[in-house]
């Protein structure tokens, strides 16, 4: 089976806090490319941005506004070959749209686990409201055009997540591999960190799809028939 994975689009309502960063027509061409080359396409969380309303506590309204702002993309996502798994920025899609928090697929003798990855973050597990408040504040930094300060907070968030290319130092990778072991999966595929990676951990393979926000085109191609698993940053 040929599977494509994209994540972390952060589709918003097209205001100053929306950092999707793509022209919709250009992104639709990318989706048609994926549809023409892959049997399934996994949307691996943070597809919509629901944590950045102008006033807090309006996640459902923000989800609806984001979907209304990108109607053609949303229609593509509703085709049968797409599988939508929610992340932490679109957690509300779990109840509103029925998006699960993980997916397991088996094909050609390979068992794959897909999960966004936010469950690794202690702040999201232990102080989710504080984490969401930080995202909301960051959106206001973007609205006020304080981009340098916003980037500083982004870098701090990445440091807290401890997402690193080095498998010996990256607790995120170790968490993901432990999750793969718990579900008897051969391959674990994550998003969340915006850091695209392919790393072997003994008999397990860790993959991260990177991000399709801020104008980036990062995606994974998984071919279980040929055992070819690749990270791409352009198409």
Q: pLDDT band at residue 142, thresholds of 50, 70 and 90?
A: confident
Helices (H), 15-56: 24-37
Structure tokens at 16: 């100053």
On whether the CB atoms of residues 73 and 34 are closer than 8 A, the answer is no
Structural domain spans, the chain: 2-232
Q: pLDDT band at residue 19, thresholds of 50, 70 and 90?
A: confident
pLDDT in tens, 88-138: 999 999 999 999 999 999 999 999 999 999 999 877 887 787 788 878 777
CATH homologous superfamily of 2-232 equals Metallo-dependent phosphatases (3.60.21.10)
pTM given for the model: 0.93
Element at 102 (helix H, strand E): strand 102-107
The per-residue pLDDT for 6 is 98
Helices (H), 10-146: 24-37, 59-69, 71-77, 93-96, 122-126, 128-143
């Amino acid at each position: 089976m040929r599977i494509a994975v994209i994540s972390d689009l952060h589709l918003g309502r097209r205001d100053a806090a929306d950092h999707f960063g793509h022209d919709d027509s250009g992104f639709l061409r990318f989706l048609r490319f994926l549809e023409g080359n892959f049997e399934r396409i996994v949307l691996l969380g943070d597809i919509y941005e629901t944590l950045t309303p102008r006033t807090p506590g309006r996640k459902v309204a923000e989800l609806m506004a984001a979907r209304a702002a990108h109607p053609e993309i949303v229609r593509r996502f509703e085709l049968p070959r797409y599988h939508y798994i929610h992340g932490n920025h679109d957690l509300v899609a779990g109840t509103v749209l029925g998006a699960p928090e993980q997916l397991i697929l088996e094909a050609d003798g390979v068992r794959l686990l897909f999960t966004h990855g936010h469950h690794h973050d202690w702040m999201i597990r232990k102080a989710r409201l504080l984490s969401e408040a930080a995202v909301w504040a960051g959106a206001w930094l973007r609205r006020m055009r304080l981009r340098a300060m916003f980037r500083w907070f982004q870098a701090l968030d990445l440091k807290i997540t401890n997402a690193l290319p080095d498998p010996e130092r990256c607790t995120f990778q170790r968490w993901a591999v432990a999750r793969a072991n718990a579900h008897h999966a051969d391959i674990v595929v994550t998003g969340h960190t915006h850091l695209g990676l392919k790393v072997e951990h003994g008999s397990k393979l860790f993959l991260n799809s990177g991000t399709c926000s801020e104008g980036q085109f990062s995606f994974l191609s998984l071919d279980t028939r040929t055992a070819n698993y690749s990270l791409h940053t352009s198409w």
